[in-house]
Structure 1
Amino acid sequence: MSETTQTFTPPSTQAERLIELGVHEIAGLSAAEVRAAAKGAGDVEGLGDAGEGALLAVRPDLAPASVLAPLLRRGDKAGFVVTDMTDVDLFAPLDTIDLPDTPLYLVGGVDRGDDMANWSPDEALPALTAASRTPLLLTEGIHWVLQRPDVLERNHCFMTIGSRLRKPKGTLDGRTPALWISNGTGRDGHERRDAPKAGWCWAGNRHTWLGFASAEGRRGLEP
């Protein structure tokens, strides 16, 4: 793992970034609650040094992807969700993911998964599970890029296969979410060239420029 894909500013600094962007208001939290939760991050066990390897995130049911994605920036370009993913907020954590029930939580040991580029999501998920790692949620990936815009690079972007859409009969929709950089083609529109983009790929397809973002685990934070 490179430095770009695994280090973060302290949770208190990340909290100020979320407050600056208004994420606390989206989630129905006060700035004081966010700061208090971040202050207690050092007491969280099981994620190593919370100041070096942990991402501060808000639960997806409080701050959904459709609202977070437009807060992303790459230069002067705002982020967006692809037009054929109007159901983006229905993509929920896989049943195997133990999501903390606190409004804010830490995601530890985050990695972009460059070594899995050109794998399909169907191939990557069991490999991550076997390695005792958990795939990132789409909202966690967005939080990551909000804190570290440089993590999205041309030819080095990532999938967030911890979020999936479940069909009425219980089977998984074939789409798997990802974050990458728009080329400004097709329905994206030329004006969105170089903008951060939340989109999807088929679970059985491979892409040389998409890794599989994952983490060691998650721990809740009390506001």
Structure 2
Amino acid sequence: MPDTPPTVTAPPLPPLTAQAERLIELGVHELVRIPADELRAFAEGAGSESGDALLAVHPDRLPASALAPLLRRDDKPGFVVVDMTDVDQFAPSGVELPGTPLYLVTAPDRGDHMANWSPDEALPALTEDGRTPLLLTEGIHWLLQQLAVLDRNHCFMTIGSRLRKANGELDARTPAIWISNGTGRDGRERRGAPKIGWCWWGNRHTWLGFASAVGRTAL
């Protein structure tokens, strides 16, 4: 494996009750058509105050294209790159989700120690460590709760989401979230904004880790 930089510890998550209020503040409950009180009740019933659980909405109920604009950095909304119009077709691959609208992602990690690895190298290593790669929607939910996780030169891929082509093969792209430099088709006005893009499955990037979790649970 290639040499890797030291891990930078991401900040802990807020309590689940605070996460629910954050989603309500953003209007997520309205997008999903779940009453605010139901969202609050789920968070209260889950009861984690340890900072290691993330409240997420099932991607079938709220896709990445709807979540991305809710991100804000330097007062600029998140966006999906123009050549990823099929972003919502990137579905869970090798990942089992609870069959509920709301669920918890346990102990998310940015995967800094795998920076400069390719997805092809990182996936088996995550599996061997007993971890599961994050979905793109889970990565966005994480940033909605703790934007400081998205740090320039310490961003991440979400290789739990893959696109399966009509012939049954997996598309060579893998989703990632990083910070726009405002170049090219991004536009200067988007410099510093959260950016949903993609990387090739076999390529390495020194500034992208591999976000993962211990697991997923529902109440």
Q: Deviations over 1:21-80 (max 9, x none)?
A: 0111111111011001111112xxxxxx55320000000111110010000011211100
Matched to 1:89, the amino acid is D
What letter is aligned with 1:30? P
Question: In structure 2, what is the equivalent of residue 176 of structure 1?
Answer: 174
1:100 aligns with 2:98: yes
Unaligned runs of 5+ in 2: 1-6
Residue 70 of structure 2 aligns with an amino acid whose one-letter code is L
The 1:50–1:163 alpha-carbon spacing in structure 2 relative to 1, beyond 3 Å, is: farther
In structure 2, the partner of 1:45 is: none
Mapped to 1, the partners of 2:40 and 2:217 lie a distance apart of 16
Do residues 209 (structure 1) and 214 (structure 2) align? Answer: no
The Cα shift of 1:170 comes to 1.4
Could you say which residue in structure 2 is the equivalent of 1:46? none
Note if 1:19 corresponds to 2:18.
no
Question: Aligned partner of 2:22: which letter?
Answer: R
Contact 1:64 1:139 in 2 (8 A): yes
- Cα contact 2:57–2:101 (8 A) shared by 1: yes
| Match in the other structure for 2:39 | 34
Stretches (4+) displaced over 4 A: none
Partner of residue 112, structure 2: 114
* Residue number in structure 2 paired with 1:65: 64
Q: Secondary structure at the match of 2:95?
A: coil
TM-score normalised by structure 2 residue count:
0.94
1:156 maps to which residue? Answer: 154
1:195 corresponds in structure 2 to: 193
Number of paired residues?
A: 213
Is the contact made by 1:121 and 1:203 (CA closer than 8 Å) also made in structure 2?
A: yes
TM-score normalised according to structure 1 size? 0.93
Alignment partner for residue 141 of structure 1, among 136, 139, 142? 139
Q: Is the 8 A contact 1:50 1:108 kept in 2?
A: no
Residues 100-129 of structure 1 show CA distances to partners (whole Å, capped at 9, x for unaligned) of 011111100110000000000111111101
Distance 1:69 1:118, change over 3 A: same
> Matched residue of 1:199: which SS?
strand
Please tell me the residue identity of whatever aligns with 1:52: G
Deviation at 1:133, TM superposition (A): 0.3
Given that 2:71 and 2:77 are in contact with CA atoms closer than 8 Å, whether structure 1 keeps it comes out as: yes
| CA pair 129-178 structure 1, distance change in 2 beyond 3 A | same
Q: CA deviation at 1:138?
A: 0.2
> 1:74 aligns to what?
73
Question: Is the CA contact 2:136–2:158 (under 8 Å) kept in the aligned structure 1?
Answer: yes
Structure 2 counterpart of 1:123:
121
CA distance in 1, matches of 2:119, 2:49: 29
Q: Please name the residue that 2:13 is paired with.
A: 8
How many angstroms apart in 2 are the aligned matches of 1:75 and 1:146? 14
Root-mean-square deviation (CA, aligned residues, Å) is 1.1
Please say if residues 18 and 24 of structure 1, whose CA atoms lie closer than 8 Å, have aligned partners that are also in contact.
Answer: yes
Query: Identity of aligned pairs, percent?
Result: 71
DSSP-derived class of the 1:140 partner? helix
